[in-house]
Each structure stands twice: as C-alpha cells, then as structure tokens.
Chains A and B, each alone.
Chain A
Amino acid sequence: MAEKKEVYLGYTTDKALTPWYVEWLAALEQERIMKSVCTSCKAEYLPPRQHCQKCLSVTEFADFTETEAKLVSYVIVDFAPESLSSKAPYVVAIGEFPSGLRLTAHITNLMSLPEVGMALKLGFDRVDDKKVTYRWLV
C-alpha cells in the first residue's frame, strides 16, 4: 500500500497523504506526471488540483506529455530551510511549457549560471536512491 511508504515529492517527506495524492505519487514513481482536468469546465491544472479553481467541480487525472519548457525564473538557494540544509546550494526554477502550464522544481545538472528564457527539459530523479521526484535538466 502506497500509504504505508515514505513518499517523496521534491526532496522532503510530505506527510499529508490522501487517496487522490497517493494516486498522483504512484504515477510519479513510474516517472509519469499527471495534470488534472475539470470534469465540468475542462480547465487544466499543473500541478494538479482535486477540485477546479473556477467551478469547484472535481477534476480527473490525465497524462501530462509535454517535456520541453522555458525558464521563467530561478534562484540559487545558498542558505536553506533546516530540512534541506544538507542539499544546499541547490537551484529552484519555474519552467513554462508551450501550453502555458508551469512547474516548479530543482535544476540538477547545471554547469553554468541559469538564465531566464533558457530551455529546460522535464526529467526525474531518485532521492536517496529510492524515491522518485521530478526535476529540470538543461
């Protein structure tokens, strides 16, 4: 059962597991990202929401297939919150896909300073060699 496991999103443990969220994380473990689509007005959300922000109807999951994005902005975190102190410095970036949907994640393979507008590719990472999370690659 997924509920019993320690589940990672990003680089720290999230404890607020619900069946809906667990379903999303199960897909993530297979290196799949799911967006959500409103069953009523068809609005799309990434990251997903269980309820539509516009009409409050429930949404359903759909595979998110875009992988190429552009960097909207970035930060290099040198002084981190306590829970991530051991990972600093790390780079957080907001990326925008051609559809306009966005994700926030770490860039893990930078060799030089990031730049607004640069190309990003959605990828996956294993945290502590175990749990899957999503990340940006340049």
Chain B
Amino acid sequence: MGRKVAVVAGGHSKFGKRYDATMRELCAEAYKPIYDEGLTQDKIDASVLSYAASQFSGQGAGSALIADYIGLQDKPHMRVESACTTGTASLRAAWGLVSAGLYDVMLVLGVEQMNRVSSATATEYMSQAGDMRWEYPFGISFPAFYALMASRYMSDYNMDHEVLAKIAVKSHHYGAQNPKAHLPKEVSLEEANNAVPICRPLNLYDCSLITDGAAGVVIAAEERVKEFTDRPMWIRGIGAGASEMMIQDRPSLTSIPGAKRAGKAAFEMAGLGPEDINMAQVHDCFTIAELVAYEDLGFAEPGKGPELVENKEIYHDGRIPVNCDGGLKSKGHPLGATGVSMTYEILKQMRGEAENSSRQIKDVQYGLAHNVGQSGQFVNVFIFERGF
C-alpha cells in the first residue's frame, strides 16, 4: 500500500476567543513551533491548509492567504473541507499524496475563527449544514442533532443525564491542566448536571465550545523521516465512514453508523483491535457524542459506555484514557483545527510531553483519533504507532 508515512512534528495555537488574531495569525502560531523544530519552509514540499466554513471568516479561497502568510506562497497547497472532519480529511489527503510518492514532506494545518460572530449567528451557520430543505427550516441546530441522539440513548438504555455530566467533569478536569485550552477550569458534577439548558436533554456543559484556533502537523515519507526526528509517530491505520444526510433516516440514533465503519476499517488496516489502543482522542462535540464513540469504536459494548464513565476507565490512568487534553468540551472546538489538534495531542502524549504529569498517559504505544463531521455524515479514524 505505498510508502509508510509518519508524523514528524506538531504545533498548536492557544485555543479560545481569540479577538487578537484572525485565521492567518492563528496559522502562523501553529506553524511556528514546527518551524522551530527545523521544519522550515524549504523542507516542505506542499501543504493542505484547511478550515471548515468560510462564512465565519468571510475569506474565500483561504489556503492561498494562509500559505502566503506563513511563507509557503511558492509551494503547492489546497484546502480540503468536510465540516468538523476537515482536519483529519486534510491529513488523509496529505497521507495519500505522500504515500503515493508525489511529495515527501507535507504540512497539514487546520484552523477556524468562529468568534467574529455571535453564538446565535454561529449556531445559524452550523445549522445550515443540516438538510436545507427538510431540516434547517425547523431550526435544528448542531446541539439539537446530538440532543436527538441523547434523548433516544437515555430512553433505550434508561440512562440518567448525570452520566453525561460526568463526562463533562472529566473533560474539564483535563482541560484545566492544558495551557492551550479555551476553558481551562474544573467543573463540579452538580454544576455540570444542572447548567442552563441549550437543547434539552443537553445543557451548557454538554456542549463543546465555539473556539478560535489552529493546529498543524508535518508528515514525511519513511525514507525521509530520520532527517527530521528520532521520535516519529507512524500512521498505522486510516478508516473513513459516512452516514445518511438526514438524521431521521438513520437506522439507529444511539450509534453513528459511519463511525463504526470508519473504526473497523482503521483497525483492519492497522491489524489491531480496540484492546491494543492506549489512548483515544474522540470527537466529543457533545458529551453524548463521546459516550457513543466509546461504543462505536469497540471500547464498550452497545449500551455499556456509561460503565466506562462510572468506573473512571477513561481517565489518564484508566483502561482507555479519552481526551486527556480537555477534548472539544474544554480545550475547544475550532472546527477545521480539531482533527489536527487530536493528532498533535497523541504525538505529544507518545513523546511524554504533556505539560502536566497529572494528565500524562503512561507508555503510549498506540493512539487513536476519532473525528466526526456534522452529526456523522463524515467520520475519520486514525491509528498512530509510536516509532521510537
């Protein structure tokens, strides 16, 4: 299957309400640490520079702007878009080009600038990713799509909302220890369980944040990896999946069919199973999404995800640590940056470089990233292997 490809460097901007920056400055912030590791512009053959929604920034054809701003104006670049999976879709595209031999070294940057508009406007833009003819006119926002899953899950498995609140408590616990996080603060179970409703049964603490930020990684072909690092992270498995456009057409609302397919394909390509994974970054755009991810990826049987939560198996010292960087919930969710940020975090954990020992996962050999777009219309799962 082509050449082996490794992630050789990563960079990350501060996530948050970044009124001090726009898309271009955020990208420079994410590329700078990569540059400082020696991956200067002359080493990069081509790039994928992506964001999910141009409504937010008002900038069309933005990869040209970003490339120029970070000094890659004379190298081929493109933007790949697939809603919240824009980041991993960009990585998947770049992997294909490097694996096939067209390029040896590529930069993948994901970015989103979402806070130039109000939350209501941002919610409006995102709701336009629902079916414009049959869903949008009924005002189904993104939290609403996931609330439809939550209502059904809670009913089918007789689950209390408190389980979801416990996921939020965990995310904020780790986000509080991540200097790049948007909302780095601890939250009590009571607070998380009784916050203002957003889309019942989901409340404020079930929702990810509306975040500005960027993240980047550089990948290289096997022959070239040693030039850049002695601590590479190999891309071992890639799986992608898709689901029905309208949420009403899904055979089940307690699982994302495309995520199951993506996970299965990634495990097959890697020759591994869920039991081999030492850490996971999952797409917790809403707490219910994280719960469903445990089950879709095979970390828990259907309906048994709450047991992982109750037993704290998803904490950094548990059986399958999940989102020990705060996740989309506390670290934040700048749409196009999210998948790249997940990749960056796994590289960091493998290298033992988490800022705080209380969020450092021990001895990560295999890490998994699960990135979902919209309510499951796009899914990418990556499995990474420590190469040192």
A residues contacting B by CB (< 8 A) are 8-12, 14, 16, 21, 47, 72-85, 87-88, 90, 92, 94, 102-106, 115-117, 133
Q: Hey, what's the 0/1 contact readout for B113-142 against A, CB within 8 Å counting as 1? A: 000001111011011000011111111110
Shortest Cβ distance from B135 into A: residue: A104
Shortest Cβ distance from A15 into B: residue: B132
CB distance from B136 to the nearest CB of A (A): 7
B139 touches A73 (CB 8 A): no
In the assembly, what is the distance between CA of A92 and CA of B133, in Å? 15
Residues of B near A21 (CB, < 8 A) are 133
In the assembly, what is the distance between CA of A90 and CA of B248, in Å? 18
CB distance from A6 to the nearest CB of B (A): 13
State which of B30-38, B68-76, B193-201 sits at the interface with chain A: B193-201
Interface check B144, CB cutoff 8 A = yes
Interface check B249, CB cutoff 8 A = yes
In the assembly, what is the distance between CA of A117 and CA of B154, in Å? 13
In the assembly, what is the distance between CA of A74 and CA of B149, in Å? 9
B144 touches A77 (CB 8 A): yes
In the assembly, what is the distance between CA of A70 and CA of B360, in Å? 48
In the assembly, what is the distance between CA of A103 and CA of B131, in Å? 13
B141 touches A79 (CB 8 A): yes
A75 touches B200 (CB 8 A): yes
B151 touches A10 (CB 8 A): no
Most A CB contacts (10 A, CB to CB) among B121, B127, B139, B148 go to: B139
B139 touches A10 (CB 8 A): yes
Interface residues of B in 289-320 (CB under 8 A from A): none
Q: Hey, what's the 0/1 contact readout for B328-369 against A, CB within 8 Å counting as 1? A: 000000000000000000000000000000000000000000
Residues of B near A105 (CB, < 8 A) are 138
Shortest Cβ distance from A94 into B: residue: B248
Say whether, besides A76-B197, A102-B248, A102-B249, A12 and B133 are in contact (CB < 8 Å): no
CB distance from B376 to the nearest CB of A (A): 14
Cβ-neighbour of B148 out of A14, A74, A90, A115 (below 8 A):
A74
In the assembly, what is the distance between CA of A23 and CA of B310, in Å? 53
Say whether, besides A72-B248, A81-B124, A104 and B151 are in contact (CB < 8 Å): no
B139 touches A78 (CB 8 A): no
Q: Which 10 pairs between the two chains have the least Cβ-Cβ distance?
A: A10-B137, A84-B139, A75-B147, A116-B155, A76-B200, A82-B124, A81-B124, A73-B152, A81-B127, A10-B138
B148 touches A73 (CB 8 A): yes
Instruction: Tally inter-chain residue pairs, CB-CB below 8 A.
Output: 113
Residues of B near A116 (CB, < 8 A) are 151-152, 155-156
A74 touches B139 (CB 8 A): no
Shortest Cβ distance from B249 into A: residue: A102
B199 touches A78 (CB 8 A): yes
B133 touches A47 (CB 8 A): yes
Say whether, besides A21-B133, A75-B199, A94-B248, A11 and B152 are in contact (CB < 8 Å): no
Shortest Cβ distance from B253 into A: residue: A73
Cβ-neighbour of A14 out of B119, B127, B132 (below 8 A):
B132
Say whether, besides A16-B133, A94-B248, A81 and B139 are in contact (CB < 8 Å): yes
A-B contact pairs, 30 of them (CB 8 A): A9-B133, A10-B136, A10-B137, A10-B139, A12-B137, A14-B132, A14-B133, A14-B137, A47-B133, A72-B253, A73-B155, A75-B147, A75-B199, A76-B200, A77-B141, A79-B141, A81-B124, A81-B126, A81-B139, A83-B124, A94-B247, A102-B249, A104-B134, A104-B138, A104-B247, A106-B138, A116-B151, A116-B155, A117-B155, A133-B137
Residues of A near B121 (CB, < 8 A) are 82
In the assembly, what is the distance between CA of A103 and CA of B247, in Å? 10
A74 touches B151 (CB 8 A): yes
In the assembly, what is the distance between CA of A82 and CA of B120, in Å? 5
